[in-house]
Amino acid sequence: MISLAAESGFLIYVLFMLAGLGALAVRDAWRAHAHGWQLSEERVVHCEDCPCTYLVRRGVKVVRCPRCNALHSRRRRWS
């Protein structure tokens, strides 16, 4: 049987946990870079009355904010 002191076992456990978290962070960064947002059919709208940001399809002329129900028309240029 392998003898292992409590301090060494705890150190090995912590190192494995940190390595696992590091691998997950690298995987998440890679996925975020590889699969970015593509807003070709929808546009981002920022409500002027509340801090809500949402997506609207291009063909929509008038849209309501989902949070405060404020009307936003398509006459002005949206970012």
Predicted confidence at residue 1, as pLDDT, reads: 75
Whether this prediction's pTM lies above 0.85 is answered by no
How far is residue 30's CA from residue 27's CA, in Å, rounded to a whole number? 5
pLDDT (tens digit per residue) in 14-54:
999 999 999 999 999 888 777 766 655 457 778 888 888 88
| DSSP code string of 19-65 | HHHHHHHHHHHHHHHHS----SSEEEEE-SSSS-EEEEETT-SEEE-
- Count of C-beta atoms within a 10 Å radius of residue 57: 9
